[in-house]
Amino acid sequence: MSDWLHNLPVSWMALAVFGATYFLAAAIFAIVNLLAGGGHARAFKAISPGLLSPLGVLFGLFVAFTAAQVWSDIERANAAVTREAGALGSVEILAAGFPGEPEVHMRALITQYIRHATTVEWPMMARRKRGFQITPQALEEAIRFNLTLTPQSQGQATTQREIATSLENALDARRQRLIISRSQVNLVKWSCLAVQAVCILLTIAMVHIDDRRGSAIAMGIFATGIAVSILLIAAHDRPFTGEVSVGPDPLLELLPKENSG
């Protein structure tokens, strides 16, 4: 689905989705009634209303199948960001094991990394751009700096190993975050949903060919259901894109609080 739609606010996205769906339903209604006036009414009347039930079930299965991927991607994205924040938070806590300049420098590197992730990487993920560094400069420097520390006790040696593990966990969580940011519902799934929706709208229009008002009402109701389903999926389709997306709040909570004066 187009990038411009995913970047719209939910209210404008809803307007676009509902408008397109109602336009499609109106076009199908007009075409079917035009064909009925041209001598195809008898063929339309021969279509059994029982066909609507299996078509509706199939559409529901398509929606559930597509939504399952979307919810899974959102869950994985939240888990990756939470894990990344937890690992960085552990580094900040463990850095206290090396009081003085090492602690201050390590905390500064973590802050630098978080600011880069939230101000540079998040907008790039939202636009689904490539070109990310394999290892961010601040995180790479933190890993190297940790290796230069000289433990003065067994406790500090253990702390140094735990800091290294936490930094590796943060790097792995970031890698997962970037991978998930490329995920989306593919064109095949969107096409199947669209074709199935058109089939049901066509069937409704043909089955109710003798009652135009009833046909219009039934098509309007089902078109609303189609639009709601598409809106729900589209709004959550890309985990880091749009108004309803996974934000960097867990990371931002780790930033030092500004003095209010």
CA–CA dist 115, 70 (Å, integer): 28
CA–CA dist 216, 67 (Å, integer): 28
Query: Which of the four pLDDT bands, split at 50, 70 and 90, describes residue 91?
Result: very high
Q: How high is the pLDDT of residue 211?
A: 87
Average pLDDT over every residue of 148-176: 94
CB 96 within 8 A of CB 241: no
What tokens does 164 get?
Answer: 């290294």
Q: Which pLDDT tens digit goes with each residue over 21-45?
A: 999 999 999 999 998 887 788 888 8
Q: Which pLDDT tens digit goes with each residue over 163-213?
A: 999 999 999 999 999 999 999 999 999 999 999 999 999 999 999 888 889
CA-angle at 116, arms to 111 and 118, nearest 5°: 95
Which has the closest alpha carbon to 16: 25, 28, 4, 27? Answer: 4
Q: Which residues of 110-127 are buried (b: 16+ CB within 10 A; e: fewer)?
A: bbbbbebbbeebbeebbe
3-state secondary structure 105-135: HHHHHHHHHHHHHHHHHHHHHHCCCCCCCCC
Q: How high is the pLDDT of residue 258?
A: 57
What tokens does 153 get?
Answer: 């006790």
- 77 CA to centre of own chain: 8
CA–CA dist 118, 114 (Å, integer): 6
Q: Which pLDDT tens digit goes with each residue over 32-78?
A: 999 888 778 888 888 888 888 999 999 999 999 999 999 999 999 99
Q: How high is the pLDDT of residue 260?
A: 36
